[in-house]
Chains A and B, each alone.
Chain A
Amino acid sequence: MISLYRPASSWLHNHRAGHKLLALCFVSIFIFPLTSLALLLSLLMLCASMYLSLGKDGLAEMRVVVPLWPWFLMMLAFHWYSGEPVAGLVAVVKMVLMILLANLLTLSTRQSDLLSALQQGLTPITWLGFSTRPLALSVSLMIRYIPVLVLLLGQHRQAWRARGGAERRKWLLVVPALIGALRLADHVGESLTARGGVSGFR
């Protein structure tokens, strides 16, 4: 759903990971209570202009929201049925905006920088005697592997089509996709263990 890091030297890439992560947190908190469609659409335009500032490739990254159209349609239908079509539009625009902003963070921030920023952000839990590295590494790896899982699902879909599988029975892919995801998790775990696990040799 969200993109992997795209190496570049844009203004967004040059900002510190911690600042971007904090900004995302604050913007999310600011957006959450908003009900004005006009204001949300303005913010969406602002977000689109940030993508535009990254160039043609950056703009193309906005496509991440396209595969989610069935969810958006469902939300709109639900609100329309409840007699609140505008509230439905507000909810959809909010969701699109949040996904696009999170995507901006991951495509412009290296995973290791995100890991360091998360570790720094989680410092308060060290006061309780917990180590921040395992948690930060888990979150950072989770972000890293979301697109890999999407790719995996795509491969299952291709294998399904190659053997003449019907589009309407695509739901049958849920189990193999889940098994594939578990296998991937096993491999990631092994690779991590082979290099000292989540805590390393500190």
Chain B
Amino acid sequence: MRWFRQEKSRRSALSAVSGAPAIDMRNVVYKRAGKVILDGLSLQLDERRVGIIGDNGSGKSTFARLLNGLLSPDSGTLKVFGIDATQHTASLPQFVGFLFQNPDHQILFPTVLEELAFGLTQLGLKQGDAERLAREYLRAQCRIEWADRPSQSLSEGEKQRLCLWSVLLMKPRLLVLDESFASLDLRSRYDFMAELNRQQQQLLMITHELDLLENFERIVWLHKGSVKADGDAKTVISAYKQYARNGL
């Protein structure tokens, strides 16, 4: 009961900022070892599905990491659902779920059930209740037999799915995927994408798989830490493909 009360209070905190856009960044600069990675980035993103594309080293992963508090900007303002990301870094993961490129870098616990339950205990639920909810979730996904499986015994696609479920159980409002498809085969990629499309959350996806972004509402092309193009999927992807073939 205590958890549900806390959850209710967390939700009411969410509703207090519900009018704000998902991401509102102005003149954000991020430097690493003196090198400018994000160079005065200004973006307002509120579409349900946003894709981020660009070359390696263009600042995509840094951008994603700013959104759930893994990194903090050196200057500029960044608000996520109206929350000042520079002031409340630690509370961002409540609203922004993050899926890493390599599931082995994300999975912390040796069994599927423990991994799923961990996020719920982070929200204040007791271990027993968290495990009960995690079992219910697995049952709803028709994967109850996974509960006691060692997470290392899962295939890459299954591991990535476990990571997604672990994040979804924490009910974030925005889901950020940082090249989470990189290790998946084609079949798993499409299955995973179909599962993502069924979710209610807003989705921000960084990927080199341009065909997965075709139906996205908005695509942002980052180049050397700045926005090179920003608009609908067809226009931006086609411009990026042309650049990839012929250069700027």
Contact = CB atoms under 8 A, between A and B. Distances in A.
Interface residues of A, number: 24
Nearest to B107: A191
Interface footprint category on B: 35 or more
Contacts of B93: 193-197, 201
B127 interface: yes
Interface stretch (B27-35, B98-106, B210-218): B98-106
A68 to B, nearest CB: 23
Which 7 A-B pairs rank lowest in CB-CB distance, beginning with the nearest? A200-B122, A187-B105, A196-B122, A194-B98, A7-B148, A112-B114, A191-B106
B94 interface: yes
Nearest to A191: B106
B73 interface: no
Contact of A111 (B70, B114, B124, B167): B114
A116 B127 contact: yes
A193 B127 CA distance: 19
22 contacts: A111-B110, A112-B109, A112-B118, A112-B121, A116-B127, A141-B108, A144-B108, A187-B102, A188-B105, A190-B105, A191-B100, A191-B106, A194-B70, A194-B97, A195-B93, A195-B119, A195-B167, A196-B90, A196-B122, A200-B124, A201-B91, A202-B124
- The CB with the most chain A CB atoms within 10 A, among B98, B118, B152, is that of B118
Given A4-B152, A115-B127, A201-B93, 15 more contacts: A5-B111, A110-B114, A144-B108, A144-B110, A187-B102, A190-B100, A191-B108, A195-B93, A195-B167, A196-B94, A196-B122, A197-B90, A200-B121, A200-B124, A201-B10
Interface in B112-126: 114, 117-119, 121-124
Contacts of B69: 193
B170 interface: yes
Nearest to B167: A195
A88 to B, nearest CB: 36
Interface of B: 10, 68-70, 90-91, 93-94, 97-98, 100, 102, 105-111, 114, 117-119, 121-124, 127, 131, 148-150, 152, 166-167, 170
Nearest to A7: B148
B5 to A, nearest CB: 13
Nearest to A116: B127
B70 A190 contact: yes
Nearest to A198: B122
A159 B119 CA distance: 36
A7 B111 contact: yes
A4 B110 CA distance: 7
Contacts of A201: 10, 91, 93-94, 122-124
Contacts of B131: 112
Given A141-B108, A201-B91, A4 B100 contact: no
A82 B66 CA distance: 60
A113 B150 CA distance: 15
Contacts of A196: 90, 93-94, 119, 122-123
B71 to A, nearest CB: 10
Contacts of A191: 100, 105-108
A200 B119 CA distance: 8
A77 B117 CA distance: 49
A188 B148 contact: no
B57 to A, nearest CB: 18
B14 to A, nearest CB: 12
Contacts of A178: none
A98 B116 CA distance: 32
A80 to B, nearest CB: 40
Contacts of B102: 187
Contact of B127 (A112, A141, A200): A112
A192 interface: yes
Contacts of B10: 201
B95 to A, nearest CB: 11
Interface in A2-43: 4-5, 7
A18 to B, nearest CB: 13
B159 to A, nearest CB: 13
Interface string A95-135: 00000000000000011110110000000000000000000
